[in-house]
Amino acid sequence: MTSNGQSIGQLRHEPRVLLGPGPSNVHPRVFQAMTSPILGYLDPDFLAVMDDSMELLRHLFQTKNEVAITLPGTGMSGMEASICNVVEPGDEVIVGIHGFFGQRMAEIVERHGGTAIRVEVDFGDVVQVSQIADALDQHPDAKMVGVVHGETSSGVGQPLSELGDLVRSRDKLFLVDTVCSLGGSDIRVDEFNIDICYSGGQKCIGGPAGIACITLNDRAMSLIESRTKSVDTWYLDLALIRKYWFDDRAYHHTAPGPMVFALREALRMIQEEGLQERFARHQRCGDLLKKELTGMGLELFGDPAHRLPMLTCVLIPDGVDDAVVRKRLLDEYRIEIVGGFGPLKGKAWRIGLMGYSCQERHVHYLIAALREILGR
Amino acid sequence: MTSNGQSIGQLRHEPRVLLGPGPSNVHPRVFQAMTSPILGYLDPDFLAVMDDSMELLRHLFQTKNEVAITLPGTGMSGMEASICNVVEPGDEVIVGIHGFFGQRMAEIVERHGGTAIRVEVDFGDVVQVSQIADALDQHPDAKMVGVVHGETSSGVGQPLSELGDLVRSRDKLFLVDTVCSLGGSDIRVDEFNIDICYSGGQKCIGGPAGIACITLNDRAMSLIESRTKSVDTWYLDLALIRKYWFDDRAYHHTAPGPMVFALREALRMIQEEGLQERFARHQRCGDLLKKELTGMGLELFGDPAHRLPMLTCVLIPDGVDDAVVRKRLLDEYRIEIVGGFGPLKGKAWRIGLMGYSCQERHVHYLIAALREILGR
């Protein structure tokens, strides 16, 4: 009995078809791995699991980086770790902003004592390479350029390849958030000259929420390890976390074993499917969804040249009540889609097709449900 | 196939009897809850799970505090959150140190720009109330006094009640780390005048590693919400996290659903067992272990008046090889115990009896194995 005298019962909620911006559904294999027997954080079998995870993460990030590890937190812990380890007080960081998560990146730079140089475009557009070049001209001492690849808030994806060339040519660090897109888009960390890249488990990777993954190349790691001042955040200090993942195996935190097991299995499924096949699946399902939505007379949001496959932002037709539709989808169909953010609040729906949720049958089911509810 | 051309197989490790300082074994009910269908972070059923968790946490913390929530990280995220939200640059924090985790608390205070006033005793002793009183006399502007209750590094528990009275009488915040002990010791947050208290899922609570829980009273929350400068760490900003747990339900991070489900079930099991019955079980098993170890002629470490029930630190007899014994326990018996820390490295074993691992049968099994290996 709790303090209010009532007993809290066992969980009994029904499954959902999760078509929001994450969490997504996970394959039963991922759940099975999650409940593998618990291991101590220095058990030889657990150290092998960590090594496997690194190998599988290098494959997913398309990198030869030594450091390709998990972090004991959500995708946002990846954003914070990327910034707090690099930024020392007074450092300038250029942040290309095309939505909510870019804003957050700039905010975190400032929390850690840095100066965020904001290069901002409208929601739904992408940042131009020339804009970042101008900012670099004006701020030649900037230490890093950061962008969000897949903006979950707008459904638009930032092109990376040319931007990476530019940033490397100016000898700055290039930081890319791929929380929304890794595992669903062709993110080539080494080829795109990305120095720091992170993601979260619960979107296109097909794992659970609560675990992040990150890769850093030697340029980034040596800069971090030559800091003059300690990182202001102990929990996400990558120099300490690195020691736990490599030869020293020095205790930093008690690894979230079930999350690591689950992520490893999700990564194994990515390896089995093949990266290109997986990206094609996301593209195919995303294209189908967009075709079906426009076929119903709905209008898509964002620059058509850069719409994401895994997250579609669609405008809510005039006279349709956002909350009522989403409630009916959830209550009657057990489908989750999510509302708009910031300038799109109440004006758009965000529909995700990520990881195991990314299935053609889910598109057909959602469209059937929407046709019923909207009467179209 | 990975980049080295080898395929990484499915997990196939055997179960352990986890008798280290955590993670501990979890009951099958906890695993079952962990694989409940995934819910979106604003799904009404998930919001109800959060409300249940708060109610169950208040019961466990023995508090009427409104804020009794989980954090998306390991127990150490609780330590970091407790400190980074309170400490502004230049603030003094008195830290009572009787082992490794107290040292870490002081280090984290300094990382966030505070000054740690270290009140240090030898490993194995506890901090005296008079020592903290002296430090408060010398540092009348100190903002907070922090101590670790159960020092996993030494097996000793810091008395809290008198210390809490002292700290409250001086109108400072009282911060207590109960990562090792909550769920196994009688920690009365309100009665002991504790303002901030945190723990981790994987020890006496009987849940998984990777989720922390924390409670703060109104004194602590109003101090945090009246800060002049933003918290330097966005990920653990409690004012933002609070908005997600209460009326606003404002998005902060994607909740680690499986961890929250699992912790909720572990907390339900605590409620069913009854707090006093659970503490008595930990005491009974800890006493039995200590009796059996001394009966074998081994010597216990630490102040006999303050040894923890859930973590026993025992000295390794002369001529016995630490690593060999632990390897044989793990390989031949699938039992994990853990070595000493800091000054006890190579000189002691740390044996945990926490949560679901805390069973008399585990004591008998471990003692039988040790008798075989040590030939005693």
Residue B368: pLDDT over 70: yes
CA atoms within 13 A on the CB side of A191: 7
Identify the band that residue A280 occupies on the pLDDT scale cut at 50, 70 and 90: very high
| ipTM passes above 0.95 | yes
Contacts made by residues B294-302, CB under 8 angstroms, sequence distance 24+: B296/B367, B296/B370, B296/B371, B296/B374, B296/B376, B297/B376, B300/B155, B301/B124, B301/B154, B301/B155, B301/B344, B301/B348, B302/B123, B302/B124, B302/B125, B302/B154, B302/B155, B302/B156
How close does chain A come to B304, measured CA to CA in Å? 28
Residues B4-38: tens digit of each pLDDT: 556 899 999 999 999 999 999 999 999 999 999 99
% of chain A exceeding 70 in pLDDT: 98
What's the rounded Cα separation, in Å, for the pair B102 and B146? 8
Which pLDDT score, from 0 to 100, does residue A226 have? 94
Please tell me the distance in Å from A250's CA to the nearest CA on chain B: 11
| pLDDT tens for each residue of B172-205 | 999 999 999 999 999 999 999 999 999 999 999 9
* pLDDT at position A3 over 80: no
Looking at this protein, which amino acid is placed at residue A175? L
User: Nearest to residue A233, comparing CAs of B177, B145, B235, B103?
Assistant: B235
* Domains defined for chain A, CATH in brackets: 17-22+274-374 (3.90.1150.10), 28-271 (3.40.640.10)
Average pLDDT over residues B42-46: 96
Q: What is the spatial distance between Cα A7 and Cα A1, in angstroms, rounded to a whole number? A: 5
Best CA proximity match to B256, nearest among B204, B209, B197, B206: B209
Mean per-residue pLDDT, A120-133: 97
- The pLDDT mean for chain A works out to 96
Please give the mean pLDDT across all residues of chain B.
96
pLDDT digits (tens, 9 = 90+) for B312-328: 999 999 999 999 999 99
pLDDT, position A4: 53
Residue A113: both structure tokens together: 């004592």
Residues A195 and A220: beta-carbon distance below 8 Å: yes
Write out pLDDT tens, residues A21-34: 999 999 999 999 99
Report the alpha-carbon distance of residue B338 to residue B22 in Å, rounded: 9
- Scanning A173-274, the segments in alpha helix (DSSP H) are 218-225, 238-245, 257-273
pLDDT in tens, B231-252: 999 999 999 999 999 988 988 9
- For chains A and B, CB pairs below 8 A equal 245
Q: Is the pLDDT of residue B45 over 60?
A: yes
| Whether pLDDT at A2 is above 90 | no
Q: What pLDDT was estimated at residue A376?
A: 87
Residue A138 has pLDDT above 80, yes or no: yes
* Residue A6, pLDDT above cutoff 80: no
DSSP at B299? -
> So what's the pLDDT on residue A215?
98
- Which residues in B lie closer than 8 A to residue A42 (C-beta atoms)? 338
Q: Given an 8 Å threshold on Cβ–Cβ distance, is A37 in contact with B15?
A: yes
Q: Do A235 and B236 touch (CB under 8 A)?
A: yes
- Cα distance between residue B339 and residue B327, in whole Å: 11
A77 to chain B: closest CA residue: B235
pLDDT at position A232 over 70: yes
d(CA A284, CA A187): 17
Residue-level pLDDT at A7: 84
Please give the Cα distance from B362 to B289 (Å, whole number). 9
- Residues A327-332 have a mean pLDDT of 98
> What is the DSSP secondary-structure string of A106-157?
HHHHHHTT-EEEEEE--TT----HHHHHHHHHH-TT--EEEEESEETTTTEE
Indicate yes or no: CB of B7 within 8 angstroms of CB of A80: no
pLDDT at position A5: 55
Interface test with A, best of B42, B233, B345 (most A CBs within 10 A): B233
B105: pLDDT strictly greater than 80: yes
Calpha distance A290→A278 (Å, rounded): 18
